[in-house]
Structures are given as structure tokens and as C-alpha cells.
Amino acid sequence: MSESFFLYISFFVVTLIVSFYFNGYINKLFIGNKLTDPVNERSSHRYPATRSGGISIFFTICLACAFGVSTGQLTIPLYALLSVFFLTLTGFADDLIDVRYREKLFLQLFAAVLMFQSGYSIDSFHGVFNVYELPYWLEVASSVFVFVVVVNALNLIDGLDGMASFISMKFFLVTGGIILVSKTEWFLFFPIIISALLGFLWFNFNRNKKVFLGDTGSLFLGSIMAFLLFYILDSESSLVTDSLISRPLLAVLLLLYPLIDTLRAFIIRAYNNKSPFVADRVHLHHRLADKGYPHWKASVLTFSLSTFILIANFFLFSIIGLLGCVALTTVLLVIFYFIFFK
């Protein structure tokens, strides 16, 4: 146990240092080649910034994972790796040349099909609507749909400094705890990705050396999250949380803010006869920014509120059940909206 703990701490510290170095170095390369993010009416920044954070995190994690795999401390499913790599390249292309949303959606569907081949999928609703095992066609459709929703939801909330990173870290902390006791050969990945995000955050909050995740980072992180949701919702996975909370409920709560905010934004755009994929400032985090919240405070607030709802559901699920937790979550969302976002 002590050897494993030392291993995880060592990877965490070294990855943090490497992430800090890559973010600084690649940011300078982007600035030197005039690859800065333009300031416009939608921008949340007023000073030059680059979208180099995603590629820096990607390189950092690839380097750390390669070392972990080569030493036998980490295993990564091949098709999951291919899917994540493909979608990261899609995000990088979008950061450089602005890929049209129809083309990007097609590429996301291809990545989803790759991910489906990883050996994990959404093959059961685990009793929701009294449905358990899914027919194959619905298993494929559900898996592809969830993959596309998750990667786009994380991409769409990446509008304030720290927002996507804090949400991602909460997700990886909780799923890392689950993996620690159910799939130990994957666990080393979690201290790696959390430390890579921490190295990025210093630059993300730095006004003079500001970097953004870009689509490279948000699609990279979103595809990893989608894979972990596949694992959580796969009927053959054994989870320590099964006696504490419903798997579908857990999956929703882990990404509650991105899912709620994306759904709300799509509804508002449809009501205004706009494409759901057109960028604007109707997101909840924009409301916080317009009310004068600093970016770090808005991100921490959103992180804290969604974490509170997650913890409340964990403690109360055995008492009030699935429907009770859905009602509780709805009530808390309404209360928080009128207190903080209205």
C-alpha cells in the first residue's frame, strides 16, 4: 500500500511540473506564431491569450501515461485511446481553422463508434423506467448519443477561466475513487490527469500568460469522461457505489452543470429561432460574469453547488430513492438559480 501511495504521489508531482513547463513553453510558441485568441463581444478576456492549454495537457498526459504503461503500472483500452486521440485532433483542427459544426458532429459520431468498440457501453438503464438490459440497437444508439452529448456539453461550458477544469476535476476525483476499488490497473491515470489540469490552471488564471483549453482540451477531456461514463453504466462493471446510489443518477450528477446549462442554452436558442450550435452569451456562467463575479469565483461557485447536490444525493438515496433524489435535485437547482443566477 505504501509503495502504491508513493507511486501515485510521484506521478502526481512529476506530471504537475511537466504540465507547468509544457503550458508555459507551448504558450510562448503560440504567441511567437501569432496564434492568439481574438477579443470580441463574446470574449471573457481583455488581454492576449492562446488556446494552447488543451494541447499542453494532451502532451503532458500522453508522456506520463506512456511511462506508466511501459512500466506496467497502467493499462489503457486500445479503442478508447484511438477515440480520444481522434477527437483531440478534431479539436486541434477546430482551434486552428474553425471546423464547421456539421463536420465536427460527423467526426464526433465516428469517435463515438470507436469508443463503442472499447468493450464498455451503455447496455442497461439499471432499472430506470423499469428497463434493465437493452437490445443491441438501443445500446449502440444510447452510447453514441451520450458520447456526443458529453463532449459537446463540456465544450460549451468552457466559457470562463477554470469552469471546465473545475468540473472536470470533480468528475475525475469521484470516478477515480470508484476506479481505485474496482479497476486498479486504471487508477494511475487519475493523479496524472488531475495534476495536468492543476498545471494548466495557473496559466488559465494568469492575466499576463493566459491560456485556454480550446476545443483541443475540452474535446480531449470530454471524450475521456464519456468513456468513464460507459464504464459506470456498463452492466458488467462492478462498482462500489452500487449500494449507495443509482448508476444513471450518478452519471447525470457527475456532469450536472454542463448538462443543465447546455439544455437551457439549446432551449433558449430554439425559442429565438437560432441554431443550437451558434455561439452566444446565454450560458449560466455568463450571467455570473455579467453580475460581476470574477472568473475564479464563478467557477468555484458552480463547482461547489454541483458538488453539494452530488453529496446530498449520495447521503439521501437510500432513504428517498431515485424519484425522491430527482425531486430533491430539481428543487435545489431552482433554489440555486434564483439565489445566484437570476
C-alpha cell read off for 98: 474553425
Contact 157, 298 (CB under 8 A): no
Neighbouring-strand partners of residue 133: 124
Name the DSSP class of 205.
T
pLDDT digits (tens, 9 = 90+) for 261-294: 999 999 998 888 887 777 778 899 989 988 999 9
Closest CA to 238 of 251, 225, 247, 227: 247
Closest CA to 251 of 340, 178, 198, 180: 178
Q: How far apart are CA 336 and CA 342, in angstroms?
A: 9
pLDDT digits (tens, 9 = 90+) for 52-98: 999 999 999 999 999 999 999 999 999 999 999 999 999 999 998 88
Q: How far apart are CA 286 and CA 96, in angstroms?
A: 25
Q: Give pTM, 2 decimals.
A: 0.94
Contact 150, 225 (CB under 8 A): yes
- List, as one string, the DSSP characters of 262-273: HHHHHHHHHHTT
Instruction: Give the per-residue pLDDT at 78.
Output: 94
Name the DSSP class of 243.
G
Provide the number of structural domains found in the chain: 1
C-alpha cell read off for 194: 488531475
Domain range for 240 is: 2-341
Contact 233, 122 (CB under 8 A): yes
Q: What are phi and psi of 175, to 5 degrees?
A: -65, -30
Burial of 75 (0-12, 13-18, 19+ CB in 10 A): middle
Which of helix, strand or coil describes residue 36? strand
- Look at 325 and 280; give whichever has higher pLDDT: 325
